[in-house]
């Protein structure tokens, strides 16, 4: 697989494709067949446009397709007690039609669905050939993890504050459009720097930006400024790679190692994850591609519900960091520090093809999903996801 095409295709959240896609028969790919399926991919294949069996095999085997770094787990996985609830009566509505849990799994091509209520597993189902041990690519869910790492670096004194200039940590961007841009602007995707996220256009920035991090910084630095920093929201995957580079420069370590030390091991993640890197010796992509198990995404949700505080009382995140991160930015009332903000105090980490971590703090509820939508983004699949999440909340409120 061409790594440049693999990388340039990632993190697209703008509605590249919309339209009606009908439910299909249940998809299943035996993991034992993954290697043979991936061996048939051409050198010019792009993860964004893989279909059918190849898509599923690739999503659970990114480490076979691209350089990765490890996110090491510890020896003691955090227990997730099982307290199954009956969801047989769950119904959700889209455009006047009503559907059940089985339909959601099939229609939205769900590889894994996990619901935690008060720390207990109340629903866990897998599809597509996945199991609880499957590592699955998260796409832009990774961006929200980078936001947590910025907070951890502030807590440990590596970063002064989100008001620090980007150029304090990435001096390569001095005398560029990023002069005068601070970390807060980058986390809110409001730097004011020009960027075209339209992958359908082969000349767009997301399609043509270089995969090498140093080259990407030069590419971004050469972009013109089209708005004052903080004034306009513009979804920018390239810029989230800068956020990751800021953390790496500040802490003097790779993101995978830093995530392992601050959250993955002390919070008790059960399984090692991988994080896609710029190259065999390169740093991780801030905008994409941590591959964990579904249960460890559920554990991350519990970490958020605990306000970033470990069991022994140690703060990983600064006091008030999550509240600040989940405050709508002046440029976009639906977005915080690399978190999506639906209504009612909920928040989400989202990735293309249906990846999601949905957190409702008031209900002590977490919903995590692995997905293989046939399209990167879709209003139809999104509508089914949102209605299903609302139905889960209503069922557990009874």
What is the residue-wise DSSP string for 29-86? --GGGHHHHHHT--TT--GGG--HHHHHHHHT-GGGTS-EEEE---SSPPP--B----
Burial of 43 (0-12, 13-18, 19+ CB in 10 A): exposed
Instruction: Quote the pLDDT of residue 273.
Output: 98
Instruction: Quote the pLDDT of residue 24.
Output: 60
Specify if 78 maps to a domain.
Answer: yes
Specify if 83 maps to a domain.
Answer: yes
Domain of residue 383 covers 3-139+273-397
Give CA separation, 379 vs 77, 101, 112, 145, 341, in Å.
37, 19, 20, 25, 17
Quick check: 299 and 79 in contact, CB under 8 A?
no
The neighbouring-strand residues paired with 290 are 275
Strands 273-276 and 68-71: antiparallel
Instruction: Quote the pLDDT of residue 197.
Output: 82
Burial of 94 (0-12, 13-18, 19+ CB in 10 A): middle
The neighbouring-strand residues paired with 93 are 98
How far apart are alpha carbons 42 and 50 in whole angstroms? 11
Specify if 62 maps to a domain.
Answer: yes
CA atoms within 13 A on the CB side of 284: 32
Q: Using one digit for the tens of pLDDT, what is the confidence trace for 220-247?
A: 999 999 999 999 999 998 899 999 999 9
Specify if 57 maps to a domain.
Answer: yes
Number of domains in the chain: 1
Specify if 300 maps to a domain.
Answer: yes
Nearest CA among 189, 156, 196, 180 for reference residue 337: 189
Specify if 233 maps to a domain.
Answer: no
Specify if 341 maps to a domain.
Answer: yes
Query: The domain spanning residue 110 has which CATH number?
Result: 3.40.710.10
Tokens coding 325: 């991160």
In the block, tokens 């390569």 appear at 172
Specify if 210 maps to a domain.
Answer: no
Q: Using one digit for the tens of pLDDT, what is the confidence trace for 144-160?
A: 999 999 999 999 999 99
Q: What is the chain's Cα-based Rg?
A: 20
Question: Which percentage of the chain shows pLDDT scores above 70?
Answer: 92
Q: Which residues of the chain have pLDDT under 70?
A: 1-25, 43-45, 199-202
What is the residue-wise DSSP string for 125-179? EE-BT--TT-----TTHHHHHHHHHHHHHHHTTSS--TTSBGGGT-GGGTTSTTT
Q: Using one digit for the tens of pLDDT, what is the confidence trace for 30-46?
A: 999 999 999 998 766 67
In the block, tokens 């990632």 appear at 10
Instruction: Quote the pLDDT of residue 43.
Output: 63
9-41 CB burial, b ≥16 within 10 A, e <16: bbbbbbebeeeebeeeeebebebeebeebbeeb
């Amino acid at each position: 697989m061409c790594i440049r095409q693999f990388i340039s295709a990632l993190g697209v959240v703008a509605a590249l494709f919309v339209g009606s896609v009908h439910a299909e028969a249940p998809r299943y790919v035996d993991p034992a067949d993954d290697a043979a399926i991936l061996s048939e991919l051409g050198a010019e294949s792009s993860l964004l446009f893989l279909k059918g069996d190849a898509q599923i095999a690739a999503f659970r085997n990114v480490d076979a397709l691209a350089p990765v770094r490890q996110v090491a787990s510890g020896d003691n996985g955090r227990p997730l007690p099982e307290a199954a609830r009956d969801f047989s009566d769950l119904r959700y509505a889209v455009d006047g039609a009503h559907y059940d849990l089985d339909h959601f799994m099939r229609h939205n091509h769900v590889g894994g669905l996990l619901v935690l209520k008060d720390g207990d597993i109340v629903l866990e189902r897998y599809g597509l050939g996945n199991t609880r041990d499957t590592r699955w690519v998260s796409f832009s869910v990774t961006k929200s993890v980078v936001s947590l790492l910025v907070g951890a670096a502030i807590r440990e004194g590596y970063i002064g504050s989100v008001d620090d200039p980007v150029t304090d940590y990435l001096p390569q961007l001095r005398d560029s459009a990023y002069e005068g841009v601070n970390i807060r602007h980058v986390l809110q995707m409001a730097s004011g720097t020009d960027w075209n996220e339209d992958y359908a256009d082969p000349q767009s920035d997301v399609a043509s930006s270089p995969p090498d991090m140093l080259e990407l910084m030069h590419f971004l630095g050469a972009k013109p400024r089209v708005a004052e920093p903080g004034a306009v929201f513009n979804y920018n995957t390239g810029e989230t790679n800068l956020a990751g580079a800021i953390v790496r420069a500040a802490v003097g370590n790779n993101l995978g190692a830093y995530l392992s030390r601050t959250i993955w091991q002390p919070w008790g993640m059960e399984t090692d994850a991988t994080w896609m890197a710029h190259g065999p010796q390169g740093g991780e992509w801030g905008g994409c591609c941590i591959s964990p198990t579904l249960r460890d995404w559920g554990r991350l949700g519990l970490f958020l519900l605990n306000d970033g505080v470990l069991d022994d009382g140690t703060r990983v995140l600064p006091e008030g960091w999550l509240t600040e991160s989940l405050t709508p930015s002046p440029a976009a009332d639906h977005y915080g520090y690399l978190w999506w903000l639906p209504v009612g105090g909920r928040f989400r980490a989202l990735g293309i093809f249906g990846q999601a971590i949905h957190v409702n703090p008031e209900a002590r509820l977490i919903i995590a999903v692995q997905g293989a939508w046939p399209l990167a983004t879709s209003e139809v699949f999104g509508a089914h996801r949102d209605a299903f999440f609302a139905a889960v909340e209503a069922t557990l409120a009874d």
